Amino acid sequence: MGIFSFGKDTETKQLERRAAAEAAMQAQDPGMADKAARAMADRLLKLGIDGVGPVDSAKETAEKALLEAKGDRGRAEEIIAKQHFRKIAAGGFVTGLGGLITMPVAIPANILEFYLLTTRAIASIAHLRGHDVDQPELRSAVLLSLIGSDARDVLVAAGLPGTIAGGGRLSSLASRQLPAPVLMVVNKAVGFRLVAQGGQKILSRLGKLIPVAGGVIGAGLDSYLFNQILDNARTEFPAKA
């Protein structure tokens, strides 16, 4: 999917590849890059968190899992994780949405699908843990959790303390009552990173290069990335008392 670190990031080449991908995207068409970033963030919020038409919202997903788990929130979280990974592995989620998900640039379906489902899984678990997924700041925090340590750079660029993503908790954004323009900057920056990384020809994990053949990413790598992001999100959104 993307090339984001969810631990200590000391890979100079990784940073260079990310910068090169973003620069290439901007060079092709700055206006289109801006539209694509906004569209990506918008789709993740509206489809991944709110749900549209036949797509359940994060709240509905969480409540159904809780019902299946007979009130056991820990078990409900595991149900959510397994359900979403199975959907990612099976594929077809995005193509089944038809016109609901038109994008201004061509994003490989499996990449868009991965981030949509991962967003919904994170928001569903956050809801189970007592967080308000309707709150704009919390929604931005959900998006930030998709990009690992890059969240710090996004926050700093938006004029916010980088410590929120380094030792703090992204969920603490919910207590800040940030202006809408600041949240728009944050959301677009996340969208831009996801779109730029989606266009790269390689994925880097643990210092290794993993070729991507024909845009198809193996279920094993999907599993690794999904689990890494979800584990990080569980740390960022602790259960509220």
Per the CB < 8 A criterion, the answer to whether 196 and 105 are in contact is: no
pLDDT top residue among 222 and 16: 222
Mean pLDDT computed over 216-231: 74
Distance from C-alpha of 162 to C-alpha of 158, rounded to nearest angstrom:
10
pLDDT score, position 74 = 95
Helices (H) and strands (E) in the chain — how many of each?
Answer: 9, 2
pLDDT score, position 223 = 74
Percent of the chain with pLDDT over 90: 39
pLDDT score, position 227 = 87
pLDDT band at 226 (very low <50, low <70, confident <90, very high): confident
pTM (2 d.p.): 0.78
- Which of 10-19, 96-105, 230-239 is predicted least confidently? 10-19
pLDDT band at 111 (very low <50, low <70, confident <90, very high): confident
Distance from C-alpha of 24 to C-alpha of 145, rounded to nearest angstrom:
25
| Residue 109 scores a pLDDT above 50 | yes
Other C-beta atoms lying within 10 Å of the C-beta of residue 159: 10
Phi-psi region of 182 (alpha: psi -120 to 50; beta: other; left: phi over 0): alpha
Mean pLDDT computed over 36-42: 89
Secondary structure string (H, E, C) spanning 38-104: HHHHHHHHHHHHHCCCCCCCHHHHHHHHHHHCCCCHHHHHHHHHHHHHHHHHHCCCCHHHHHHHCCC
| Residue 162 scores a pLDDT above 90 | no
Mean pLDDT computed over 41-70: 94
Amino acid found at 82: K
pLDDT band at 113 (very low <50, low <70, confident <90, very high): confident
Structure-token pair, residue 234: 């569980």
- Which of 127-136, 140-149, 161-170, 218-227 is predicted least confidently? 161-170
Structure-token pair, residue 50: 């709110």
**What mean pLDDT value characterizes the chain?**
77
pLDDT top residue among 53 and 119: 119
Write the pLDDT tens digit of every residue in 52-64: 888 899 999 999 9
Per the CB < 8 A criterion, the answer to whether 68 and 76 are in contact is: yes
pLDDT band at 4 (very low <50, low <70, confident <90, very high): low
Other C-beta atoms lying within 10 Å of the C-beta of residue 3: 21
Distance from C-alpha of 230 to C-alpha of 225, rounded to nearest angstrom:
8
Distance from C-alpha of 103 to C-alpha of 181, rounded to nearest angstrom:
22
Give whole-number Cα distances, 49 to 127, 150, 217, in Å.
10, 21, 24
